[in-house]
Amino acid sequence: MQKGGFRLDTSFQYHKLSRLVYGDDYVSFSELSARSPKAAEHGDAEFQLIQTDITLRYALADLTEISLFTPYKWVTLRVDEDDEHHRDETFDGVGDLRLGLRHYVAFEPSYQISIFAGLSVPTGRLNKVTAASYLGHEEAHDLGVIVPKHSHLQLGTGTFDPTLGINVLVRLDDHWMLFGNISATFPLYENRYDYQTAPSATFTFGPALKLEQEPIILGFYTEVFWSGRDKFDGDDIVGPDGVFDGSFGVPNTGRFEIALRPALTWGIREDLTLTVYARFPVYTRIRESSDKSDVQLAEEYGLFIGFSYNF
């Protein structure tokens, strides 16, 4: 990294979520119906995310850079259900921008350590979802109300969210390296629709191998992800037959997940680098509600392709 230098990163991501998780089990909708008809009441579902990113980095000094991350997202949700109060929908647009600052506290031939601080900007479009949209059939029946037609798709959080992280790279010899990264995001308040995204953290670690005669690095990483439960703090839902508290932990959010992330980095030339990795979750556990009826879609696989250009 040289002071005054620019780097442009562009990437494409695809993620498909259609595995169904109940507690820490992967189950089909028919199996879930037998265990918990309430949890399976919405029928089959599938979610897909396509995202392209542009990140511009500028070196303020030899060991310090600032960055601007700009995502564009296409999200699609398909739901098969009898009452049809969920919409099949594709939502697309710019997501939340993120401003970042990275500084290398150590940059030695045998190891490198950098720290990162970022702040997301709420530029992503939101759907207004009322508290009544989260009611199950039993609660709605008890209140004497009808669950409104709605979509849970969002392109951002609607809040300014800080992120902190640290990266460590250790070179064991001319070929083998160890990599570790931990980052955490801390949403601090609710958005204009009374919704607050939960804090989350990601820990990625593993070995990487530099091929002897090619500018290629193969990574064999494991990713550990944790997220708390989102919160909704809306008005109470008042129906002809009762009242439902409008403040609650949002169903189908919050999870602990372990995924494998094989990666390839290829230095095509001195100023151009290609990075490709796949993501395969091997264990997912959702944060259950007190009655253990939560059900959540989980990722089947993800694919990332990116280019970096220094100029």
Please answer whether residues 158 and 126 qualify as being in contact, where contact means their C-beta atoms are separated by less than 8 angstroms: yes
CA-CA distance, 297 to 21, in Å (whole number)? 6
Nearest to 259 by CA among 224, 227, 294: 224
* Beta pairing class for 64-79 and 89-94: antiparallel
Structure tokens at 50: 């396509």
Give the domains, in start order, of the chain with CATH numbers: 6-310 (2.40.128.130)
What are the backbone angles phi and psi of residue 39, rounded to the nearest 5°?
-70, -25
pLDDT tens string, the chain, 311 residues long: the values are 667 789 999 999 999 988 878 766 776 666 666 665 555 555 567 889 999 999 999 999 989 999 999 999 999 887 765 555 666 778 899 999 999 999 999 999 999 999 999 999 999 998 887 777 777 667 777 788 777 777 778 899 999 999 999 999 999 998 999 999 999 999 999 999 889 999 999 999 999 999 988 899 999 999 999 999 898 888 888 888 778 777 878 777 888 999 999 999 999 998 999 999 999 999 988 876 665 667 787 888 999 999 999 98
Who contacts 64 (Cβ-Cβ below 8 Å, separation ≥6)?
101, 102, 103, 104
Q: What angle do CA 189, 227, 116 make, to 5 degrees?
A: 75
Residue 140: its H or E element: helix 137-143
